Structure 1
Amino acid sequence: MRRRSAADSDDDSLLSACSSSSSSTDEDDINCRMAPNWCAYRQLIEKRGFRLDTCRDVKQWYQHYWEMMSSQGQHVSRDLPGYTRACSIDDENDLCKDAGLPENLFRGSRSLDGKKVVIKAVHLRSHEYHVVKYMSHPQLRRDPRNHLIPIFDLIEVPIDQIAFIVMEEWSPQLITETPCTLRLFLGCLRQCIEHVVFMHSHNIAHLDISIRNLLTDYNSHYSYIDFELSRRFDKHPNPRISTRRGTELPPELERGESTDPYKVDIWALAMLIIRACSMSGYNIPELSPLLKAMLNESFERRPPAYYVLNTFDSIAQGISEGRLQRSPPKP
């Protein structure tokens, strides 16, 4: 039997501090998407050092964008819905919600330095808040495997059973811009795999890994978002789930059977890698045997995350330097 260490005790204390108390509360009620009255929480959020975007902020953003594009010799129409909407409101200090975001998200900035943020409203006892709060603890943030998007603040409003996750604004690079060399692309994939290793080592299953839930800061850092379906199975050594939610569902869930939640992530991770290669144009045939194993019809035979990472590293080390420097083929 392994001897318990000080780190184990610290982890137990952290678990106790962050544990969810939702067992007696209806799962759908606490894990559904929130639609808060943002105006009602504006003052509280400002006291914590963050500003929700106003009509003035939105118009200034568009004006800066047009100036930047003009300096690059590009012409962009000024008849854009976001700008038109901001101009249609008389008071420039009124909040200006981005119509392209769901009701649980609001764009803003950090008062200290103007850094752009996205603020997400969640139920105080939701799985998402429990998981994000746990992974944001300084003890876990120091783990180099933890690629959680920077969380600037967690604002709790117990009386309303709501919490606000203030995160740095990142972008979906693989959709808008492909990493310029195979080395950078492999670095992106490695972070995707390594963060799964980190989560699984702390009994967390993401359960909705997909391209659409992968963001970047454009400085070669990548992170998953949207932990709405995520769970921490700290009291279940062999957990099973049968929910048919998520973007990349394995065949056993499609058939209505139960499965290992960690192996759901392995299936979805393989699909993410396949879609990323397809979208980027990078062809990496050496990954085929690993991906085949990750997509095994039998979830028990899919490899664990740490095996996927070790195998991926071995494959990447075998790729020649000249090939690592290549850019994706032009369409």
Structure 2
Amino acid sequence: MDKSSPPGAEKSPLHRSEKAWVNFQPFLSSRGYELRARYHPDWIPSWTVHRSFYHEYEDSLAVYQDQVLDATRTEDGKKVVLKRIETDGDEMAIIKYLVTPSARADPRNRTIPIFEIIQMPHTPWSFLVMPYCRVFNYPPFHCRNEFVDAVSQFMEGLQFMHELNIAHFDIAPQNMVMDESRVVPNGSHFSKPRTHTGFHGLFAWNNRCTVLPVNYYFIDFGLSLYFPNGRDTALHCETLRTFPDIPELSDKVSYNPFMVDIFQLGLTVHKLIDAYPALEAFRPVATDMTATNPHERPTPANSLAHLREITAKIPATTLSDQIWEKDTGLWKKVTRAVLGGYRYDYLPIPTN
């Protein structure tokens, strides 16, 4: 590289996990889905053309996985997410079960909608085309009503899956998303979801309670299990590295995975309450869901009834009052009130 090139211009263009998307790009483009410039076979990094710092350009933003990526649907410019899964795998079998007309017609179905399933010829892979969503717990909740709406939808969704004898088995904040279209009308960047375009600055949003309805979904059924004989007698043996707090998990002693789902969702509710002191009144719901004895945990329907019972005792004005994350400083409160979001100032969008 020329000695006059600025520091950082020699940054390696692609990570190993990204290179698969370059191979997939021509096929996906032929099916009407365009990947970002970074994943085109003829891509030339912008910073090498402009002889500038790589981190000043959007096409420097990477992903670190070869299974999930954002794309643009060419027919209407809509942002979507693509997930690569095995065509004949267990996840595909569960997905096909969840997207049947009868399943999609159930308003409690809070599994991510699938716009299209694209099988890639001469490979074991297919691509799920899904709506572009973001993690459900950011931007922050504005009020108790928003918390109740989100948790209610997830409880309904869990009830729906369990009635179909499907255990999700990996319920955690990273697998719980929301449709951002009403909440973040300026959109977000897949690689930096707390920015609109991939560059830092003001990230603004609407309070969820002002733009209802906001839809919440479960994603990622890679660990999900189907029990055709019913959930009451379902047994499974497996430990989950990411869930050390679930008492019954074992690779030697069988347990009911549907009870694990309830614990996992209860654990997520606990974490939300830990983050927002004003939500403490809802703690008993999470406590019941995370009972040490699996047989003492309520069904999703009973948990939802408990949540609604507590909500009904809280005055409407209190439910709509603004709440804050623990230790939220004055700067964030002011910028959220004045600017409608939080400002992150690092690197500017390049002008050349």
TM-score (ref. length: structure 1): 0.72
Provide the residue aligned with 1:241 in structure 2: 236
Measure, in 1, the Cα distance between the counterparts of 2:117 and 2:241: 25
- 1:317 corresponds to which letter in structure 2? A
Measure, in 1, the Cα distance between the counterparts of 2:27 and 2:217: 28
1:124 aligns with 2:118: no
1:49 aligns with 2:29: no
Measure, in 2, the Cα distance between the counterparts of 1:266 and 1:246: 18
Counterparts in 2 of 1:258 and 1:82: CA distance versus 1, 3 Å: farther
Measure, in 2, the Cα distance between the counterparts of 1:177 and 1:226: 21
Listed one character per residue, the Cα deviations across residues 271-321 of structure 1 (whole Å, up to 9, x for unaligned) are 010112223443232x33332222221112211222112222222222210
Provide the residue aligned with 1:137 in structure 2: 100
Provide the residue aligned with 1:321 in structure 2: 316
Measure, in 1, the Cα distance between the counterparts of 2:57 and 2:31: 28
Matches within 5 A, 1:159-238: 159-174=122-137, 176-218=138-180, 219=182, 220-236=214-230, 238=233
Counterparts in 2 of 1:320 and 1:80: CA distance versus 1, 3 Å: farther
Aligned length, in residue pairs: 267
Measure, in 2, the Cα distance between the counterparts of 1:290 and 1:55: 45
Measure, in 1, the Cα distance between the counterparts of 2:252 and 2:19: 34
Provide the residue aligned with 1:5 in structure 2: none
Listed one character per residue, the Cα deviations across residues 35-66 of structure 1 (whole Å, up to 9, x for unaligned) are 98334443432343221222499x9xx9xxxx
Measure, in 2, the Cα distance between the counterparts of 1:265 and 1:214: 13
Q: Which runs of 5+ in 2 are unaligned?
A: 1-16, 47-51, 183-213, 329-352
Measure, in 1, the Cα distance between the counterparts of 2:217 and 2:224: 15
Measure, in 2, the Cα distance between the counterparts of 1:122 and 1:322: 46
Stretch of structure 1 that moved more, 217-226 or 262-271: 217-226
Structure with greater helix percent:
1
Matches within 5 A, 1:285-324: 285=281, 287-324=282-319
Measure, in 2, the Cα distance between the counterparts of 1:79 and 1:278: 40
Equivalent residues of 1:156, 1:164 under 8 A apart: yes
Query: Does the residue aligned with 2:69 lie in a helix, a strand or coil?
Result: strand
Listed one character per residue, the Cα deviations across residues 240-297 of structure 1 (whole Å, up to 9, x for unaligned) are 1121126335111168532111000000011010112223443232x33332222221
Provide the residue aligned with 1:257 in structure 2: 253
Equivalent residues of 2:237, 2:251 under 8 A apart: no
Equivalent residues of 2:235, 2:256 under 8 A apart: yes
Equivalent residues of 1:209, 1:247 under 8 A apart: no
Deviation of 1:325 after TM superposition, in Å, equals 0.7
Query: Does the residue aligned with 1:37 lie in a helix, a strand or coil?
Result: helix
Measure, in 1, the Cα distance between the counterparts of 2:225 and 2:56: 36
Measure, in 1, the Cα distance between the counterparts of 2:230 and 2:153: 27
Measure, in 1, the Cα distance between the counterparts of 2:251 and 2:174: 24
Provide the residue aligned with 1:37 in structure 2: 20
Equivalent residues of 1:35, 1:103 under 8 A apart: yes
Matches within 5 A, 1:266-281: 266-281=262-277
RCO (CA 8 Å, sep 6+): is it higher in 1 or 2?
2
Deviation of 1:222 after TM superposition, in Å, equals 1.4
Measure, in 2, the Cα distance between the counterparts of 1:233 and 1:266: 16
Query: Does the residue aligned with 2:248 lie in a helix, a strand or coil?
Result: helix
Equivalent residues of 1:208, 1:246 under 8 A apart: no
Equivalent residues of 1:215, 1:225 under 8 A apart: yes
Counterparts in 2 of 1:241 and 1:158: CA distance versus 1, 3 Å: farther
Q: Which runs of 5+ in 1 are unaligned?
A: 1-33, 63-77, 87-97
Equivalent residues of 2:152, 2:304 under 8 A apart: yes
Query: Does the residue aligned with 1:276 lie in a helix, a strand or coil?
Result: helix
Q: 2:77 aligns with which of 108, 114, 119?
A: 114
Stretch of structure 1 that moved more, 46-55 or 182-191: 46-55
Deviation of 1:179 after TM superposition, in Å, equals 2.0
Equivalent residues of 1:248, 1:271 under 8 A apart: no
Stretch of structure 1 that moved more, 115-124 or 228-237: 228-237
Measure, in 2, the Cα distance between the counterparts of 1:103 and 1:211: 21
Equivalent residues of 1:173, 1:215 under 8 A apart: yes
Measure, in 2, the Cα distance between the counterparts of 1:118 and 1:82: 24
Provide the residue aligned with 1:72 in structure 2: none
**Where in structure 1 do 4 or more consecutive aligned residues deviate above 4 Å?**
none
Provide the residue aligned with 1:71 in structure 2: none
Equivalent residues of 1:253, 1:259 under 8 A apart: yes
Counterparts in 2 of 1:236 and 1:181: CA distance versus 1, 3 Å: closer
Counterparts in 2 of 1:243 and 1:326: CA distance versus 1, 3 Å: same
Listed one character per residue, the Cα deviations across residues 12-53 of structure 1 (whole Å, up to 9, x for unaligned) are xxxxxxxxxxxxxxxxxxxxxx99833444343234322122
